[in-house]
């Protein structure tokens, strides 16, 4: 078990997922250009939806990249983790739109698993993560995200308590 590496991944995931929330709180709708540019998929639904923005994705990757050296990791590892977390988040949003769920709606598992397993898998070699480490990391992120979502909602950083 690589406890330090799992902890480092949790910090990177927190940075990547927290940066867009903080930016939204500070900037509101300024510079919040939809990542999908309003494009709809062949089913007539948005590709990702208006809550997935260029600002949010860019800041998520930047926060993880900048934060990595502060916790003893290479900036490239932070960039990979942040990018993979956002890829997982976008995949979740894509599927939620196909399921006709509104932006920021709750989808237990779909909201947590892709955005934690993608970066864990992407960084597995850099951090020497085992399958057990990845499973534990996903489980920790899953539980932590549920708890932190409520706290961030009460702190007025999230629009919904989940």
| Residue 159 covered by a domain | no
| Residue 160 covered by a domain | no
Q: For residue 100, give its domain range.
A: 3-154
Residue 14 confidence (pLDDT): 96
Give the tokens for residue 37: 């540019």
pLDDT surpassing 70 at residue 100: yes
Give the tokens for residue 35: 């990542």
Residue 137 confidence (pLDDT): 98
Residue 35 confidence (pLDDT): 95
Q: Write the pLDDT tens digit of every residue in 77-99.
A: 999 999 999 999 999 999 999 99
Residue 43 confidence (pLDDT): 95
| Residue 32 covered by a domain | yes
Domains contained in the chain, number: 1
pLDDT surpassing 90 at residue 138: yes
| More confident call, 77 vs 106 | 77
| Residue 161 covered by a domain | no
| More confident call, 137 vs 31 | 137
| Residue 129 covered by a domain | yes
The rounded radius of gyration (Å) of the Cα atoms in the chain is 15
What are the counts of helices (DSSP H) followed by strands (DSSP E) for the chain? 5, 0
Give me the chain's average pLDDT, please.
93
Give the tokens for residue 128: 């020497």
| Residue 139 covered by a domain | yes
pLDDT surpassing 80 at residue 112: yes
pLDDT surpassing 90 at residue 161: no
pLDDT surpassing 70 at residue 157: no
Mean pLDDT, range 105-133, rounded to an integer:
95
Q: List the beta bridge partners of residue 36.
A: none
Place of tokens 């509104």: 102
| Residue 8 covered by a domain | yes
Nearest to 62 by CA among 29, 22, 90: 22
- Judged by DSSP in three states, 54 sits in helix
| Residue 125 covered by a domain | yes
pLDDT surpassing 70 at residue 41: yes
Percent of the chain with pLDDT over 70: 96
């Amino acid at each position: 078990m690589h406890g330090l590496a799992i902890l480092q991944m949790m910090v990177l995931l927190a940075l990547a997922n927290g940066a867009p929330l903080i930016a939204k709180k500070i900037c509101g709708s300024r510079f919040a250009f939809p990542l999908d540019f309003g494009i709809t998929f062949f089913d007539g639904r948005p590709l990702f939806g208006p809550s997935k923005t260029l600002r949010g994705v860019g800041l998520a990757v930047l926060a993880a990249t900048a934060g990595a050296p502060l916790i003893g990791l290479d900036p490239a590892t932070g960039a990979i983790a942040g990018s993979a977390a956002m890829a997982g988040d976008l995949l979740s949003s894509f599927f939620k739109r196909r399921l006709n769920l509104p932006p920021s709606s709750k989808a237990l598992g779909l909201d947590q698993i892709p955005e934690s397993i993608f970066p864990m898998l992407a960084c597995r070699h850099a951090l020497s993560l085992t399958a057990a480490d990845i499973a534990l990391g996903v489980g920790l992120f899953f539980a932590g995200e549920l708890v932190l979502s409520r706290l961030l909602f009460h702190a007025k950083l999230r629009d919904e308590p989940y």
